[in-house]
Amino acid sequence: MKISYIIPAYNASKTILSCIDGICKNIQGGDFEVIVVDDCSTDDTREIVSDFAFKHHEVKLICQPQNHRQGAARNIGLKEAKGEYITFVDADDIVLDGIKHALDMAEQTNADLIYCSCYHEKTSTEVVLKEIDMGENVVMTGIDFCEEYQHEGAFWYPWGILYRREWLQALNYPFIEDRQHEDRDWLAYVMSHANTIANSKQPMYPYVCNPNSTCRAPRYSTIFDHVASGIRHIDLSEQLKAECPKLSATLYAFGMEEIHHSIRLRNLTKYPWSDNKHLYDAQCLQPLMADIKRMCRTYPMPTEVRIVAYCPLLTKATAFVAGPLALLIRKLKHK
Q: Tell me the per-residue pLDDT of 281-302, one tens digit each, with 9 for 90 and over.
A: 666 677 888 898 999 999 988 8
Residue 229 CA to residue 149 CA, distance in Å, equals 21
**Strand ranges for 154-261 from DSSP E:** 161-164, 197-208
Flag whether pLDDT at 276 surpasses 60.
no
Residue 26 has pLDDT above 90, yes or no: no
pLDDT mean over 151-176: 89
* pLDDT of amino acid 265: 66
Give the DSSP H/E element, type plus range, for residue 308: helix 303-310
d(CA 202, CA 124): 22
The beta strands (E) that lie in the chain are given as 3-9, 32-38, 59-63, 85-88, 113-121, 127-130, 139-140, 161-164, 197-208
**Which of 277 and 170 is assigned the larger pLDDT?**
170
pLDDT band for position 221 (cuts 50, 70, 90): low
Tens of pLDDT along 223-243? 788 888 999 999 999 999 998
Alpha helices (H) in 68-164, listed in sequence order: 69-80, 98-109, 142-149
Residues 6+ apart with CB under 8 A from 124: none
What pTM did the predictor assign?
0.86
Give the mean model confidence (pLDDT) for residues 59-86: 94
Pairing assessment for the beta strands 3-9 and 85-88 based on DSSP bridges: parallel
For the cut 90, the answer to whether the pLDDT of residue 326 exceeds it is: no
Q: pLDDT per residue over 117-133, tens digit each?
A: 888 877 667 788 888 88
Q: Which residues pair with 249 in a beta bridge?
A: none
325 versus 48: the higher-pLDDT residue is: 48
Answer yes or no: is pLDDT of 205 > 70.
yes
Percent of the chain at pLDDT > 70 equals 83
CA separation for the pair 120, 156 (Å, rounded): 12
Among 22-36, 155-169, 295-309, 320-334, the minimum mean pLDDT is found in 320-334
Q: Is the pLDDT of residue 317 over 80?
A: no
Instruction: List domains and CATH numbers for the chain.
Output: 3-214 (3.90.550.10), 218-333 (no CATH)
| Low-confidence winner among 77-81, 206-210, 296-300 (lowest mean pLDDT) | 206-210
pLDDT of residue 155: 76
Query: Is the pLDDT reported for residue 278 higher than 60?
Result: no
pLDDT of residue 275: 57
What pLDDT was estimated at residue 133?
87
How many CB atoms neighbour CB 283 within 10 A? 9
- Region of 159 please: left (phi>0), alpha (psi -120 to 50) or beta: beta
Stretch 185-201: mean pLDDT, rounded? Answer: 94
